[in-house]
A and B are shown apart, each in its own frame.
Chain A
Amino acid sequence: MTTGPGAGTTVELVKLTKAYGATVAVNAIDLRIAAGSYCCLLGPSGCGKTSTLRMIAGHEDVSTGDLLIGDRVVNDEPPAARGTAMMFQSYALFPHLDCVDNVAFSLKMKGVPVEERRRKAREMLDLVDMGKYAARLPAQLSGGQQQRVALARALITRPGVLLLDEPLSALDPFLRDRMREELKRLHRELGITFIHVTHSQTEAMALADLVVVMNQGRIEQAGPPRELFNRPHTAFVARFIGGHNVIRSADGLRAVRADRVQLGGGDLRTDGTVRALEYHGTSVHLSLDVAGADDFAVIVDEARFYDAPLAIGAPVQIGWNHADAHPLAS
């Protein structure tokens, strides 16, 4: 199935399960990814996010459950018949082919004549700014350049869904930020569905319309990044996406955002001591020892912190408002 640009496809997982012998990697997950959205599968390693992506791609068999792309069940379809294209973590460029032939590979498989497929491949390389490296072999390219070629190779099939397996993890931080922008731009321009596997919550927050937090083969929470950040459902989500303190109180677990904790204010108060502090420019990050929480973080505005600076080891009273404490499912 091929689709033109601007035509994303919905992806729906129904009780999707992947078991390797007795180990269940993905445990009966349900998820609907709307056409044209940017979905990030987020979780620690071994949470099942990569297995899920590989099942969607068709590189892993579905154990039980159904996988729908568009309105068809594609459990047994080969990868190329699903209208998906995958960009591999290692990029998986063919080392014996130059950039043009790498990108033109899928057209060659379809029997497109050599002139036509090379012309289309060059257009695709231009789209990712790699036109001038067309004649190079993958080994002659930097990591970022290889990634652009891999992207072009995935996009040339005009997929309805683009699958990205940890696409930014191999890049240095500067390049990572630039590629992040690039992915967002491509997503906007192409309008197709992106499914992106990552273990970085910053990446997921920055890119996704829909963040799916996974843990031990299950979906902990799925929703827009703001919803996730402001209303985490579980302690795992609150801890994994960061910026939250998980507090044990009389009526169960609560999550409080680190930047909503006040020094010497708030409805609910407790005492702690400063264990570490870091200057971050716009803010100062404090780590406190507090009874009832294993690692208590406070983010204070830089100017306010230096009005009454604290030293390591200093006792401090902290507090927060009722409205800022979100109940968590245990």
Chain B
Amino acid sequence: MKSKYWALISLFSISIISKAWSQTLPADSGKLILHFKNVVNGQPLRLNDTAVNYHNSHGDKFTINTFKYYISNIVLFDDQGKKITLPPAYFLINAADSTTFDPVLTHVPPGKYSAISLMIGVDSARNFAGAQEGCLDPAQGMFWTWNSGYIFLKLEGISPQSNAKLHRLTFHVGGVKPQNTIRVQTIPLKKELIIGAGQTAKAVIITHIDALFSGKNQVDFSRLSFTMGGPNAVLIADNYATSLFTAWEETQR
């Protein structure tokens, strides 16, 4: 009896709220497309290219075969410094798949924005919430199978300086407890980004791969060529924590 009563109230409120949403959503909010450009040594990343001469700040040469990372928990800061948290969304940027380079953020309130903040990785609430799908599907290869949890950022490649088998570089950064590798970077936008109601704006985010190997802990590939969570992954996360991204240009259409 009681449950029927609740069901009626729920149905009633659903109809009101859904009506409100369907009316207000399109007119009131805008969209923001983030275009990610992966860059190494100031050049656009080329995967599996042995002719490139990438080097880290220690002077070690390397090439890259795999580069993928999650971004989530996106927050915008308006020109008054007010924080606007966008609805939960998770994106996997995969350097091998250009269809992943342009995540679309919906339900962005119209406004003038001066900074954006991105979580590099997946928050713990979602990380430990059971089987997920879409870009969080463990079949994406960004999930540890023996130690469940997402790999937040993955770089694999080759360096002659690496002492690993076949001179491999394997940097899998992830893990929350006890070594936390979740990092959130706030990126100032060079020019104010204006998002109007029903409009779509675009911001270009440059991802600086060099940031993994310098900063707080300069990485020498002969000494560190493998991280799989744990304390070594924290060294890499600490490096890129404040320098993985810059915003380059913003356009509106």
B is bound to A: no
**Residues of chain A at the chain B interface (Cβ within 8 Å):** none
**Residues of chain B at the chain A interface (Cβ within 8 Å):** none
